[in-house]
Amino acid sequence: MLRAGPARKVTISVGEDQQYHGHALYAAILDFLFYRGVAGATVVRGIAGFGADHKMHTTRILRLTENLPVKIEFIESPEKCDEVLPKLHEMVGSGLIEVQETLIVKPEETPSKSGPQAPLLPARREGKAKLMRIYIGENDKWHDKPLYQALVESLRANDIAGVTVYQGILGYGANRRIHQQTALNLSHDRPIMLSIIEIEEKLRAFFPVLDDMVKQGLVVLSDVDIIKYSPEIPPARTGKEAAK
């Protein structure tokens, strides 16, 4: 945990497309900092810039595939910086590492704990519910908005417990047309499935909204058993116990 006093700010500049052992370099650096106990780090993505190669990188419409600049910044004690910098130097390669002396005036505070707490034991709860699956296309719209996004927002507004959106890689529907993602055609209308688990009454109350929004698609309703594990709330302490 950082304390008030002298510290160092480290800024690492790399390209978004740079790789490290098959992974994005900036993500590999962030993982390294996390698992080496660095107090915190931030990754920011630029919209334009150039580096030592003097090549312009930009997000302009005609050049969407450019290697945009990415910065990873963190503030740590001088000792911790000396510990992680050798590995960072190896990872960054042609990137840039900048170290600045700084002063921490107010360190970040961690939430205070009132005292030792009893461990929370997992509680198992079971019940009956319905699983609703909604099958639509990625290009389906509702009021000029992606239909799957509008459905998620509508489900949330109607107090449905939760929804997960899955994007398919291959499929076909009532029109018998294949939908897929290929290297040569990334804009295909890929299949989308929304999965919702709720009590039957709440799902059936949502049906009129669903009928209005989904003009072409498939909705399936199935019975499911809910087996949920959640932390058990410890029993309240008595007056004498609380006074100890």
Alpha helices in the chain (DSSP H): 25-35, 78-92, 147-157, 200-213, 239-243
Alpha helices in 23-77 (DSSP H): 25-35
Which residue ranges form the domains of the chain, and what is each CATH number? Answer: 5-104 (3.30.70.120), 122-231 (3.30.70.120)
pLDDT at 126: 82
pLDDT tens profile 168-182 = 876 665 555 555 555
Separation CA 110–CA 105 (nearest Å): 16
| Percent of the chain at pLDDT exceeding 70 | 70
Q: Is the dihedral of CA 83, 86, 90, 93 positive or negative?
A: positive
pLDDT tens profile 125-148 = 788 999 999 999 888 999 888 999
Q: Which residue has the tokens 């699983």?
A: 131
pLDDT at 182: 52
Could you tell me the pTM of the whole model? 0.47
Separation CA 176–CA 203 (nearest Å): 29
Question: What secondary structure does DSSP assign to 160-210, as a single string?
Answer: -S-EEEEE-SEEE-TT--EEE-BTTBTTS--EEEEEEEE-HHHHHHHHHHH
pLDDT at 194: 94
Give the count of alpha carbons within 13 A of 21, CB side only: 7
Which residues neighbour 243 within 8 Å (Cβ) at sequence distance 6 or greater?
none
pLDDT at 118: 60
Instruction: Give the chain's length.
Output: 244
pLDDT at 108: 72
Looking only at the bridges linking them, the beta strands covering 218-231 and 191-198 are unpaired
pLDDT at 35: 87
pLDDT at 228: 76
Residue type for position 214? V
- The whole-chain average pLDDT of the chain stands at 80
pLDDT tens profile 24-76 = 999 999 999 998 889 889 999 877 656 555 565 555 544 445 678 899 999 99
